[in-house]
Copies of this chain bind each other. A is one copy, B any other.
């Protein structure tokens, strides 16, 4: 289940005060707008959406805030090798990996417990301590296979 807006707002407030940072109207707006997005967005895309609500909002503020949301565990960075980072809500309850169509960009979220476990096995085999992982599968979606 997803965090609702109030959940993430509380989470963010708490994170900010822990770090002696402040909740601002811009940060509230960015959080709210980010949580509404249905797709994985880049900071630039989110900035475009935000400008319609608050035309005075700054470019840098969006980047800065997405970084904060990531540190707070509310957003997660995705790198599909496109040249820019995408963000998705990160509720830590629902980790998943991605299957991306290289033609149209459509992407499916999946979670394979077996793969997750095997990853841990690899990491411990080499004496490493697992911090994170990134698994992206690239393919051609059924729709694009027909054209």
Contact = CB atoms under 8 A, between A and B. Distances in A.
A139 B134 contact: no
A122 B112 contact: yes
A141 interface: yes
A101 interface: yes
Q: How many copies of this chain are found per oligomer?
A: 2
A122 B134 contact: no
B101 A128 contact: yes
A61 interface: no
Nearest to A128: B139
Nearest to A140: B129
Contacts of A114: 114, 118
Interface of A: 77, 79, 81, 99, 101-102, 108, 110, 112, 114-115, 118-119, 121-123, 126-142, 145
A86 B118 CA distance: 26
A123 B136 CA distance: 11
Contacts of A139: 123, 128-132
Given A79-B81, A118-B115, A134 B126 contact: no
